[in-house]
């Protein structure tokens, strides 16, 4: 068996320890004679799994008691609709458009009400985060929406926008659990877990309790109402039980690593290795304004599409996989989530140095 360094943006690398543990438990989970995939989601065994997962997540993120944690299906994309359906009481919300995911969320919200684009960085291919310290927040807006880490473009809000008292809703799909955050600053923070946490097919939505009400948009399906899932502890219907189990293992792995403050340091170290090299390289260059650089997704280019393709191909042959940039940007992108070891980034940088020598 040999494992590659997987720089995929998602589904993405998982901690090897977690995968080994899951493999060990595959046929017989802790003496119950079946795998987690085969057991009832109403069983005591699974109840322990989901309760521990939630408790460990609460512990890692220091989630205040007045927030619910929901494990939902439909991925992050389903939240694009669920959020306006559940939160637009005045029928209006403000969106800050910093990339494709924020744009999709903004477009989806237009189906349900008035979605105002109050800021955007599309003028420069989403290569920066606009100044959000004094925006024209709509007085009637039910919430202000951001995508905090832009997976495709590699930008990150280093400071949250000044929402002037409005509820902040944030898509944290590609940065959730990469560093500590103050949950109390958000109304909702949510993320698809296949980026930085677990297998694909689930979103974790952390929602302040007062935002979970029966007063939702007329016609909202039961399954798209936050209250349905909050009241049932994410067990209204059959959840993605195996995914919850895997995420639970990753939460324990993160706690063993020392928690989110330690992960932040480790992630900063990894990102610095790569950005420092990009800043001194004569061949490669980063595509993002330095102050807005993401710790998780690092896009870069040579400026020559043929050379980019050659790099991606040769990197793959060297065991460095999934470095091709998103189809809308081209070039390369290295996603260096929590589970990417420091040695993976060191190997990548050494490979880039070698490629540079051979190609300039």
Ligand X SMILES: *Cc1c(COP(=O)(O)O)cnc(C)c1O
- As a whole number of angstroms, the distance between CA 334 and CA 145 comes to 26
Q: What is the CA radius of gyration of the chain?
A: 21
- As a whole number of angstroms, the distance between CA 147 and CA 150 comes to 6
Q: Does 333 bind ligand X (CB under 6 A)?
A: no
Least distance in angstroms from the C-beta of 194 to ligand X? 6
C-beta of 281 vs 322, nearer to ligand X: 322
131 in catalytic set: no
Least distance in angstroms from the C-beta of 81 to ligand X? 11
Restricting to residues 267-326, which ones interact with ligand X according to CB under 6 A? none
CB 288 within 8 A of CB 128: yes
Name the segment binding ligand X (CB under 6 A); options: 61-69, 71-79, 243-251, 299-307: 71-79
Scan for tokens 């460990």, then name that residue. 56
C-beta of 173 vs 302, nearer to ligand X: 173
Q: How far apart are the first and last CA of the chain?
A: 35
Q: Does 192 bind ligand X (CB under 6 A)?
A: yes
Least distance in angstroms from the C-beta of 280 to ligand X? 29
Scan for tokens 């929590």, then name that residue. 338
Residues in the chain: 360
62 Rama class: left (phi>0) / alpha (psi -120 to 50) / beta: left
195 in catalytic set: yes
Q: Sheet containing 188-192: which strands, arranged edge to edge?
A: 67-72, 203-208, 188-192, 168-171, 144-147, 92-97, 114-120
Given 56, 68, 94, 101, the catalytic residue: 101
Q: Does 157 bind ligand X (CB under 6 A)?
A: no
Member of 12, 147, 246, 271 binding ligand X (CB under 6 A): 147
Q: Does 337 bind ligand X (CB under 6 A)?
A: no
Name the segment binding ligand X (CB under 6 A); options: 43-51, 72-80, 118-126, 256-264: 72-80
CB 210 within 8 A of CB 157: no
Q: In Å, what is the CA distance from 195 to each residue of 11, 71, 139, 275, 356?
A: 6, 15, 34, 21, 29
C-beta of 311 vs 325, nearer to ligand X: 325
Least distance in angstroms from the C-beta of 212 to ligand X? 21
Given 68, 156, 195, 270, the catalytic residue: 195
Question: Is residue 106 classed as helix, strand or coil in its secondary structure?
Answer: helix
Member of 8, 73, 77, 162 binding ligand X (CB under 6 A): 77
- As a whole number of angstroms, the distance between CA 115 and CA 107 comes to 8
At a CB cut-off of 8 Å and minimum separation 6, what does 103 contact? 97, 122
Closest-by-Cβ residue to ligand X is 75
Member of 6, 163, 170, 174 binding ligand X (CB under 6 A): 174
Instruction: Give me the residues that bind ligand X (CB under 6 A), please.
Output: 10, 75-77, 101, 147, 151, 171, 173-174, 192, 195
Catalytic residues: 101, 171, 195
């Amino acid at each position: 068996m040999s494992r590659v360094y997987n720089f995929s943006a998602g589904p993405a690398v998982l901690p090897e320890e977690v995968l080994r543990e899951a493999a060990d438990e595959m046929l017989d989970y802790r003496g119950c004679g079946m795998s987690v995939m085969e057991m009832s989601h109403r069983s005591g065994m699974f109840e322990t799994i989901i309760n521990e997962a939630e408790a460990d997540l609460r512990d890692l993120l220091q989630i205040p008691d007045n927030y619910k944690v929901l494990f939902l299906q439909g991925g992050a994309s389903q939240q694009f609709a669920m959020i306006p359906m559940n939160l637009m009481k005045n029928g209006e919300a403000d969106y800050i458009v910093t990339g494709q995911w924020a744009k999709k969320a903004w477009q989806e919200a237009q189906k349900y009400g008035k979605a105002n684009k109050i800021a955007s960085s599309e003028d420069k291919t989403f290569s920066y985060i606009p100044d959000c310290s004094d925006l024209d927040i709509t007085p009637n807006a039910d919430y202000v929406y951001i995508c905090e880490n832009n997976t495709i473009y590699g930008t990150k809000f280093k400071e949250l926008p000044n929402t002037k008292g409005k509820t902040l809703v944030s898509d944290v799909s590609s940065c959730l659990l990469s560093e500590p955050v103050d949950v109390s600053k958000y109304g909702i923070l949510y993320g698809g877990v296949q980026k930085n946490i677990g297998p694909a097919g689930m979103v974790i939505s952390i929602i302040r309790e007062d935002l979970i009400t029966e007063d939702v948009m007329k016609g909202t399906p039961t399954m798209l109402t936050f209250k349905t899932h909050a009241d049932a502890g994410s067990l209204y219907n059959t959840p993605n039980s195996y995914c919850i189990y895997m995420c639970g293992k990753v939460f324990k792995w993160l706690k063993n690593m020392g928690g989110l403050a330690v992960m932040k340091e480790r992630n900063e170290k990894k990102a610095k290795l790569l950005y420092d090299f990009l800043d001194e390289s004569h061949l490669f260059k980063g595509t993002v304004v330095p102050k807005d650089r993401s710790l998780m997704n690092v896009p870069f280019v040579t400026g020559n599409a043929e050379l980019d393709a050659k790099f991606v191909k040769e990197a793959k042959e060297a065991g460095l996989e999934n470095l091709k940039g998103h189809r809308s940007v081209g070039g390369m992108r290295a996603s260096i989530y929590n589970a990417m070891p420091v040695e993976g980034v060191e190997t990548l940088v050494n490979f880039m140095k070698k490629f540079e020598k051979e190609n300039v």
